[in-house]
Structure 1
Amino acid sequence: MKIDWKDKTNWVGAVFVIFFFLFLLNRIGNYFDLDKSTWAGWVQAIGSIVAIFAAIYISQYQHQSDRKRDVIAEKNQLLRLMQSLKDELDVVKTSFALSAGDNIKSTPDGEGVPFYMELSDRPFMVYSSYVTQIGIIPDSELRRDIIATYTRFNIFILTLKINNGMFNRVDGWLRDGALMEKSENPIVQKDFRDWKAHGNAVRQGYSACVDACDGLIEYLKKSITDLQNELKIDKG
């Protein structure tokens, strides 16, 4: 059983045991009528034993303290990672909802998505910075969810880039006076047909990203709360 030396009663008990041991030695010495030289030998022997046990205890205590400090540092690193990913997902979800969500959701099925969205070359700065540290997350399901959600977002961004190119072509035909699918130009007809078909991929991709993002944010919130509670216990 591990002794909690933060509890004052354990220190009182230890002092009592030491005094009792000294009293017992004194009684033994008086009973056997030990002389000073014999007493000195006993004291030296006992002192050596105590010193050995003290050295062992100090070494173990130092090792446990170092390990506890390392564990707390690792958990703090993990906490910063999960909090940063959650914050980025909150921002990404809000950003997509404001810039594209309404346009995508308001477009009927079977129609193209009529908007051009400016897309960053590095939309996920936090994930890109921490991607090599995802492996420190002990929860394998959470790791898979993180990778799957960001992969889904990257695929959706590629879908939006394709839509940008298609919409530019369609918008160019409209500016030139082409009458959408009613035009007899086969190239115009194909461009409009492809753009409308791709609209389904945009709508499905957006819906899948929102669902995955919501689920991962909740998962991260729970994991963060659990880890914070663990750290309170560790530091206590």
Structure 2
Amino acid sequence: MLNELIQSKEFVAAVIGGVIAGFFSILATKMAFKHQQGQSENNEKIIISSLLQAIHDELETVYERYQVTMGARLESIRENEPLNFYYPLVSDFFSVYNGNTFLIGRINDNDLRKQIIKTYTLSKGMVDSFRLNNDLVHKFEYANKLYEETKQEVHKQHAIAHYNSLISYAATLKQGHGALKSEIFALLRTLRKNGVLSELAK
């Protein structure tokens, strides 16, 4: 009887010990998962913060260069005046954005994400517009050169037509420049409000 009682107590103790061990094992697993989840969220926050800093720096740098080389010239164009000027264009102005498009969708702020995409879309569209203007400049210069060499009326008319196209397109470029400038300034302000500059200062 005594042996049975002892064995019963040992069994109960073993069960209780097992329950306690199981409880702490589950608790430890939950804590480890929670810690891992917190670490993952923190890493994600750092990645997105770094991306926003890089976007801010890229836009600010590219815009400053653009404004010096072309923006100011475009703003000074008068009505019915062409942009008869080649604008050298590299293959990729936006390496940060193009290299991290897979991260853009992970920006939680819907308005900020949309604003970034809109600004870069307008920027790329402006690059394409300058390429088209470069093409018009080339066509005008070629037709004008042929006219000067041959004095044939057909080449003169071609040159006039291309020149008029340049005048018309200059107005389009100027309008696009104004819209792009507004979007870039708005995005830079938003990024700064989101603490980009304070993050850079750390």
TM (norm. structure 1) is 0.69
Once the 2 structures are TM-superposed, how far is the Cα of residue 94 of structure 1 from its aligned partner? 0.6
Q: Is the 8 A contact 1:112 1:196 kept in 2?
A: yes
Question: 1 CA distance for matches of 2:9 and 2:108?
Answer: 58
Q: What residue identity is the alignment partner of 1:78?
A: I
Aligned to 1:208: 179
Alignment: residue pair count = 189
Q: What residue identity is the alignment partner of 1:115?
A: F
Once the 2 structures are TM-superposed, how far is the Cα of residue 106 of structure 1 from its aligned partner? 1.1
Once the 2 structures are TM-superposed, how far is the Cα of residue 185 of structure 1 from its aligned partner? 3.1
Q: Is the 8 A contact 2:119 2:180 kept in 1?
A: yes
Aligned to 2:30: 60
Q: Which structure ranks higher in relative contact order (CA pairs < 8 Å, sequence separation ≥ 6)?
A: 2
Q: Is the 8 A contact 1:88 1:126 kept in 2?
A: yes
Alignment of 1:138-153 (within 5 A): 138-153=108-123
Q: Is the 8 A contact 1:78 1:136 kept in 2?
A: yes
Question: Which residue of 141, 148, 158 maps to 2:128?
Answer: 158
TM (norm. structure 2) is 0.80
Once the 2 structures are TM-superposed, how far is the Cα of residue 171 of structure 1 from its aligned partner? 4.2
**Cα distance change on mapping 1:89 and 1:184 into 2, 3 Å:** closer
Percent identity, aligned pairs only, is 22
**Cα distance change on mapping 1:162 and 1:190 into 2, 3 Å:** same
SS at match of 1:113: coil
Question: 1 CA distance for matches of 2:129 and 2:101?
Answer: 23
Question: 2 CA distance for matches of 1:43 and 1:195?
Answer: 93
Aligned to 2:160: 189
Question: 2 CA distance for matches of 1:103 and 1:126?
Answer: 27
Question: 2 CA distance for matches of 1:187 and 1:176?
Answer: 9
Query: Which ranges in structure 2 are unaligned for 5 or more consecutive residues?
Result: 1-5
Aligned to 1:17: none
Once the 2 structures are TM-superposed, how far is the Cα of residue 45 of structure 1 from its aligned partner? 5.8
